Chains A and B, each alone.
Chain A
Amino acid sequence: DTGVSQDPRHKITKRGQNVTFRCDPISEHNRLYWYRQTLGQGPEFLTYFQNEAQLEKSRLLSDRFSAERPKGSFSTLEIQRTEQGDSAMYLCASSLRGGRTDTQYFGPGTRLTVL
């Protein structure tokens, strides 16, 4: 499968715990995006990377959220001290160069449940 992959697919955690999600983009895609989707809503943009550089992070929901893409390949999204309101689907997408004509290809998402 050469699509975007995400791991884990499901995560259940207790409030206050830290969680980390991984995204593997399509090979050779330079641009990587993270979105969050809550129940009954459309995805909401969080942050994006061009290669290893994080070019926009002002839309991360709080300072408990952070993302990395250390070698310009896979990326991780970490949520510290999780809260029940963090329960959502976290989606990753990648595109070839990030140009306006590029298509963003989405992974299957990681569903987070905070108890």
Chain B
Amino acid sequence: AQSVTQPDIHITVSEGASLELRCNYSYGATPYLFWYVQSPGQGLQLLLKYFSGDTLVQGIKGFEAEFKRSQSSFNLRKPSVHWSDAAEYFCAVGAENAGNMLTFGGGTRLMVKP
């Protein structure tokens, strides 16, 4: 069965600083991976996704993520954080043999200091 681990429950960064959110997955086949963001009272918004090809994926709002098969990781990065990036971030892996259901990590809550 697939699983996702996000080791950092909370992260605080200063506005303008760089950001890296960690994600490790376990999946028996070639994974397809997602990062979603959830702001209070709102649904999940897709930031980016990886299916195949280039292991560095660009997303919306200036985010990028790198797929590293050898490390089973799909870390999310942003070079300069804005106060509006404060939210909860979820990494997910898709299971093609189960209707493409998503298995999510526990999330990382990002706080941004002025």
Contacts and interface: CB of A to CB of B under 8 A. Distances in A.
Given A4-B43, A107-B43, A102 B100 contact: yes
A100 B41 contact: no
Interface in A56-115: 56, 59, 91, 93, 95, 98-109
B102 A45 contact: yes
A24 to B, nearest CB: 13
B101 A45 contact: yes
Nearest to B42: A108
Question: Which bucket holds chain B's interface residue count?
Answer: 20 to 34
Interface in A5-45: 31, 33, 35, 40-45
Given A55-B99, A56-B99, A98-B99, A44 B104 contact: yes
Contacts of B96: 100
A100 to B, nearest CB: 5
Interface in B60-114: 90, 92, 94, 96, 98-107
A42 B99 contact: no
A66 B43 CA distance: 22
A56 B98 contact: yes
B46 interface: yes
Given A41-B107, A42-B92, A104 B102 contact: yes
Interface of A: 4, 31, 33, 35, 40-45, 48, 50, 55-56, 59, 91, 93, 95, 98-109
10 contacts: A33-B102, A41-B107, A42-B105, A43-B44, A45-B103, A56-B98, A59-B101, A103-B46, A104-B100, A108-B42
